[in-house]
Structure 1
Amino acid sequence: MAYKMAMFGCALPEGFLLTRISGGRFSHIRYRYEGIRFLFAPAALGLDGYSRMRDRTKTQFVNLADKFRTKMLEFSDPNSSNMIFTEDLKNMVHLADATSDDLNLVHKMMTRFNQQNKEVRFGSYVFGPVVMRMYYFLNKPDEALQAFRDPELEDFFAQLVTYQILMDLLFQNERYQDMLDVFEIIKQRQHQEGKFPKNVVILTFAACFKLNTPESFKYGMAVWKELKEVGHIPMRRAVTFAAGLALNQNASHVAFEMISGVQHQNYVTIRNLKVAALADLGRPEDALPILRTILDTDVPSQRKQTFSEEVIQKLGVSVGKTTNKELIHEFQQIEKRLREGQHITAQDLNELLCMPIAETVRNPVQDRNQRFLAASFSRQNVGRTKPYPRPGLSDLY
């Protein structure tokens, strides 16, 4: 059941929907209009933990929040002799509402806190990801960009997960060119895990795909070339966005080469893109074996492996352009079997490529390091008895 309601105690912007699952939690957030979605699901960005901390903080500050705001406004004055402590800023970040007064106060407190800690860092708490979650939660992309671009706060937001949250916030607000501008800033900033953070690269190609212009294609191909030159291997989702963009820009040969380099070819996005590229290249006979593979491996007890109706129709047009009656007959027979076996879905390629990324899978050591370095509020895995889920397992179907 979907609810247009307050998200964890905070009013949602117009057009948002939440989907409730068992236990009172929310599986994902999505836009109601035009099928717009987050690329990374809220849980993957740590928003579920952030919302829990908001609830806890608001409970602690019942009848005290306004006095606290007044005090923090005084303390954040550059001429004040008082200090902004870690706990002060943490509390304000979790109390802030989507008002200009609150957002301006948070910015002033961040600036003051960052200035007083330039020489000596008193604590190990990393604020960048948490503040960016606040902007994301309140759906404030302009304020998030302003803070990110503020020279006084450059080191404040220099964490990989911060970049990811900001770019996903821009993605869900259709600010695709702003995403590319942010990517250029990220490339110039030095950080310990390399010049091209994997999730940031995914979001960059997602922005190029959404823009779908000759200029974005040219930019995407330049980024792709740069990645290859430094030995970076793009993740599958980055490859599929780049290949999808190439298809849309009538460069099917480029798309085919890109997806041919993916190690596992049985993901739903990969096989759909491959069939679409072969259809555009006028090689439908090479696409039929891919369709037959699904029929040959159909197991009733497992989820159906599928093709998009859009892709099947594209292939049908390509087959129809041939004079090979045997090929036409073979395609018709395969298509009939696919439909009878419910292997064709109404999802188009855009929907398939933009399916939300549910979570980032890490081992326990990586989880602990990520929580320390990025002050992550992601779901904890301490005491977990079940094995970690295989990444992308649902994408096989």
Structure 2
Amino acid sequence: MPRIMAAAAALAGSASRILRKIIKGSARLWPAVTAAPGCWSCSQGAKRYLLRDNAIGLQQFQEKKLATRRLIYEDKDSYFRNIKEKMEKKELILRNELKILLHLCQTSDDVEIAKSAIYRYHSENRTMAFGDYKFGPIFMRLCYELGLEVPAVELIKDETLYGFFSDGQSFALLMDMLFKKGYYEDAFEVLEEMEKQHVKYIKDTFLLAFAICYKLNSPVSWKKFTKILEENQFQLDTLPRITYCFAVAFALKQNDLEKAQYIYSLIMNPDSRLCTNLKILMQIKSGALEETLKTLEAVLEENTPELVKKTQISEQVLATVREELEENPALLVRLEDIYDQLKASGKVTKLTLDEMLCKIPLYKEYYKKLSTERTVSLRTFKPLQSVLKTE
């Protein structure tokens, strides 16, 4: 109907004017785009579990907690009372005592006692921390399990505890927890704190750093992102694909096409929906109009088996392409035809690029559903202990 109305209104004009009005009328057939320009919604939009389960180690931590409760001869409350008495008498807190204490914590009140023990232990063993047992990841997994990001940030930034969180894993766990909850500013401060304490980057750090900077999308985060790229060039060729995708997306957000193209070239296997959408954005922003349409046609021509996931193009990415083709009627008509065919074959998605980047992986959604539905033991039919619940 929009095409017919537009054509009828233009009959009195010249042939070129008729063509332009028909093309502009066809725009009404495209879905409305409500997100911010550039194919990304606001920075507080979709959230993602950045680290995989094996990197977080929550299941193993909960199993260790269960084993610890079985091994100690006294009940939990008695053990906590004994630790509090030792601290009141200014007696030494031994390494194994602190380890057991952290694995017995089940509430925020328990964590407050554990915090006092950590301060005491570190003050007594500060000079012996090098090469010793790492308590940082244990405490961060405990906070992760209980959703206690405030004490986690408090302790990791406390100068009196410098050296206690001396590993990249502790910082990664905290940044992931903050990112998942949408606390991007706090996560950025933890990243800065990591550098302040001269803690070395691990692979997970790059993913977290790029994702945090992408979400903030500020001059400060862009400066930090650029600095990370410049100082870690030799480590940038072995990162996971999603890490590069966050970096490419951020560079595009900042209109640095050259940097986006360079980072994209580092991706060993760009055969994914996200990479295809990023490629199309880079092509259209570079003025390669013909190449952009050829990429879309290649997606259209893909013969994907029924059980294999199809490559899908974001409606917002297609809307961006359309905006760039406004002044080229012939290519715009060709794009309209491609769009109709993509739509008919199920190769167009309503997901924005931001939602693609931050989509919770399917296995995470599955376990999240299990943890929501299952509150009773399948073996005893009694309520599950908090330590046994799935993440």
TM-score, L = length of structure 1: 0.70
One-letter amino acid matched to 1:216: S
Change (3 A) 1:267 1:329: same
Shift of 1:106: 0.8
Q: Distance in 2 between matches of 1:172 and 1:127?
A: 23
Q: Does the alignment pair 1:246 with 2:256?
A: no
2:90 is the alignment partner of 1:80:
yes
Q: Provide the secondary structure at the position in 2 that maps to 1:157.
A: coil
Corresponding residue number in structure 1 for 2:302 = 297
| Aligned match of 2:383 | none
Say whether the 8 Å CA contact 1:86–1:123 is kept in structure 2: no
Please give the alpha-carbon distance, in whole angstroms, between the structure 2 residues aligned to 1:168 and 1:159.
15
Q: Equivalent residue for 1:216?
A: 221
- Give the C-alpha shift of residue 190 in structure 1: 4.9
Larger radius of gyration: 2
Counterpart for residue 357 of structure 2: 353
Q: Structure 1 residue 166 and structure 2 residue 174: aligned?
A: yes
Q: Which of 80, 86, 103 is the aligned partner of 1:69?
A: 80
Matching residue's letter, 2:311? Q
Aligned to 1:308: 314
CA distance in 1, matches of 2:133, 2:230: 37
Match of 2:324 among 287, 293, 318: 318
Q: Which runs of 5+ in 2 are unaligned?
A: 1-43, 364-391
Aligned equivalents of 2:236, 2:212: Cα separation in 1: 19
- Secondary structure at the residue paired with 2:267? coil
Is 1:237 matched up with 2:242?
A: yes
Query: What letter matches 1:338 in structure 2?
Result: L
Q: Which amino acid aligns with 2:90?
A: S
User: Identity of counterpart residues, as a percentage?
Assistant: 26
Residue 156 of structure 1 aligns to a residue whose secondary structure is: coil
1:153 & 1:318 partners in 2: Cα distance? 54
> Aligned partner of 1:201: which letter?
F
Which of 190, 199, 204 in structure 1 is aligned with 2:209?
Answer: 204
Equivalent AA in structure 2 for residue 68 of structure 1: Y
For residues 122 and 253 of structure 1, what CA distance do their matches in structure 2 show? 43
Task: Quote how far apart the aligned CAs of 1:210 are.
Answer: 0.9
Deviates more, 1:254-263 or 1:114-123: 114-123
- The answer for the alignment partner of 2:61 in structure 1 is 50
Equivalents in 2 of 1:72, 1:143: separation in Å? 20
Structure 1 residues 196 and 53 mapped into 2: Cα distance closer, same or farther (>3 Å)? Answer: closer
In the TM superposition, residue 139 of structure 1 has moved relative to its aligned partner by: 1.4
| 1:283 to 2:294 alignment | no
Partners of 2:315 and 2:197 in 1: CA distance: 43
Q: How far has the Cα of 1:64 moved from its partner?
A: 2.1
Q: Matched residue of 2:90: which SS?
A: coil
From 269, 273, 277, give the equivalent of 1:268: 273
Counterpart residue identity of residue 340, structure 2: K
Residue type of the partner of 1:74? E
On the 8 A contact 1:298/1:305 being kept in 2, the answer is: no
Deviation of 1:133 (Å) = 0.4
3-state SS in 1 of match to 2:51: coil
Number of residues paired by the alignment?
318
For residues 134 and 152 of structure 2, what CA distance do their matches in structure 1 show? 17
Q: Which has the higher helix share?
A: 2
Query: Partner residue of 2:117?
Result: 109
- Which letter maps to 2:348? I
Whether 1:147 and 2:181 are equivalent positions in the alignment is: no
Higher relative contact order (CA 8 A, sep 6+): 2
The answer to whether the Cα contact below 8 Å between 1:39 and 1:357 also exists between their aligned partners in 2 is: no
User: In the superposition, relative to structure 1, how do residues 122 and 70 fare at CA in structure 2: closer, same or farther (>3 Å)?
Assistant: farther
Q: Does 1:183 align with 2:183?
A: no
> Post-superposition shift, 1:105?
1.3
Question: What is the match of residue 20 of structure 1?
Answer: none
TM-score, structure 2 normalization: 0.71
Q: Are the equivalent residues in 2 in contact too, given 1:44–1:357 (CA < 8 A)?
A: no
Change (3 A) 1:114 1:219: closer
In the TM superposition, residue 168 of structure 1 has moved relative to its aligned partner by 0.7
1:214-260 Cα deviation digits (max 9, x unpaired): 332233223323333x6644723332222222323344454334323
Amino acid across the alignment from 2:270: Q
2:102 maps to amino acid: V
Give 1:207 deviation, angstroms: 0.9
- Displacement of 1:350: 0.7
Say if 1:41 and 1:231 are closer, same or farther in 2 by CA, change over 3 A.
Answer: closer
For residues 332-347 of structure 1, the aligned pairs below 5 Å read: 332-347=336-351
Range moving further from structure 2, 282-291 or 252-261: 252-261
CA distance in 2 between counterparts of 1:218 and 1:37 reads 23
Cα distance, 1:182 vs. partner?
2.3
Contact kept? 1:208, 1:216, Cα under 8 Å: yes
